[in-house]
Amino acid sequence: MEFRDASEYGDFRQEVRTFIDENLPTNWAGRSDMDDQEYAGETRKFWKALADKNWLAMAWPEEYGGMAADHWQQLVMNEEMAYHRAPGAGANMGIMWVGPSLMLYGTDEQKDTHVSDIAGGDVWWCTLYSEPGAGSDLASLQTRAVEDGDDYVINGQKIWTSGAHHSDWGWLAARTDPDAPKHKGITMFMFDMNSPGVTVRPLINMADSHSFNEVFFEDVRIPKTQVVGEVNRGWYHMAVALDFERSGISAFAGGRRSVEELSQVARDNPQYLERNPGVRYDLADRSIEVKVGTYLAYRITHLQKQGVVANYEASVSKLYGSELGQRIAATGLKLIGNYGTLNGSDDGRTPLDGRLATSYRNAVSGTIAAGTSEIQRGIIATRGLGLPRQ
């Protein structure tokens, strides 16, 4: 297959690279510790610069602050952002699903109040879906929303809420009808994160980074004007959004950058390969796998542009990309050895500024977040291969 459409965006690709060079801090190096206030400030600043070019919400209609970009242009943007480890729109939950949902289901007042702020990079949103007992089986969520006059009163707990400690607004799924079948009786809300009764507590991951949080609701009052869509139809609203580029290219672009860096480490430190010459073959395998994954992502974008809903194909890409991330990190540790397990070192003996240790630990969650590998394999088996459910 020839991806001629992608090649047509060569000038745009270079424009994105120039933009990143001019707007991303030189010491950024793929930082991801959301507990760092400087990180949060630089991220907001970068998003604002994207918004000024209508790139933050580039796929949105022009009347909502976008540029109606097609799938290929979005892929080029996402590919470059991931390769350079920049905080692109894919890290902005307001762009990914809040804005699209408001465009589809929001009232005129909600659209006027929130959509332009999201597209303008002025507001940081977090998503409150998962609960201690409702992760992959999200329809089992139990956080309650009880009608009381002009408000709903929220009680319950959410978990794994990325960026809640920096967020201005929250996007919440709560149960409004406890007697309805579990896929029904759920309603979508938006709320100010500074509302009385909202408590955010940090969750420190195994890489000693703070990006996740627990969020507790104790008699939190949300006005009915902040219900999005139909009451008790929230599950179906969650599942529908505008048709953006979701090829998984970010995993493969980031993986390509990592393989290139590891290969350079091997060239600069021949003692590593002398000690473990078989790593040459591992690096070659990872390089090939990155190319295979890139072509999987390109194919999905091609299908989307043809109007095809790439369902199981997206699961193939997600599964392959997340497991490849683990293989790349493991190859890095095999190459570097014990020094690769250090987070950083002032004596210069830790290659890649200690990023490999963080990547290795974070890669564990890659096969869990956004749908576990088991769920992806089930989708591929039933929807892709037509196998019966067991």
Residues with catalytic annotation? 245
- DSSP, collapsed to helix, strand or coil, labels residue 145 as strand
DSSP 387: P
- DSSP, collapsed to helix, strand or coil, labels residue 104 as helix
Whether residue 193 contacts residue 167, with contact meaning beta carbons closer than 8 Å, is answered with yes
Alpha-carbon distance of 33 to 205, in angstroms, equals 10
Pairing state between β 144-148 and 186-192: unpaired
The tally of CA atoms less than 13 A away on the side-chain side of residue 329 is 22
Alpha-carbon distance of 288 to 277, in angstroms, equals 18
Alpha-carbon distance of 74 to 6, in angstroms, equals 10
Say which residue the tokens 């580029």 belong to: 245
Backbone dihedral angles phi then psi of residue 244, each to the nearest 5 degrees: -90, 170
End-to-end CA distance of the chain: 35
Alpha-carbon distance of 157 to 199, in angstroms, equals 10
The two three-digit tokens of residue 204, written as one number: 């420190």
Those residues with Cβ within 8 angstroms of residue 264's Cβ, 6 or more apart along the chain or in another chain: none
Whether residue 277 contacts residue 210, with contact meaning beta carbons closer than 8 Å, is answered with no
Q: Exposed/middle/buried for 307, CB within 10 Å: 0-12, 13-18, 19+?
A: exposed
Whether residue 297 contacts residue 324, with contact meaning beta carbons closer than 8 Å, is answered with no
Alpha-carbon distance of 304 to 302, in angstroms, equals 5
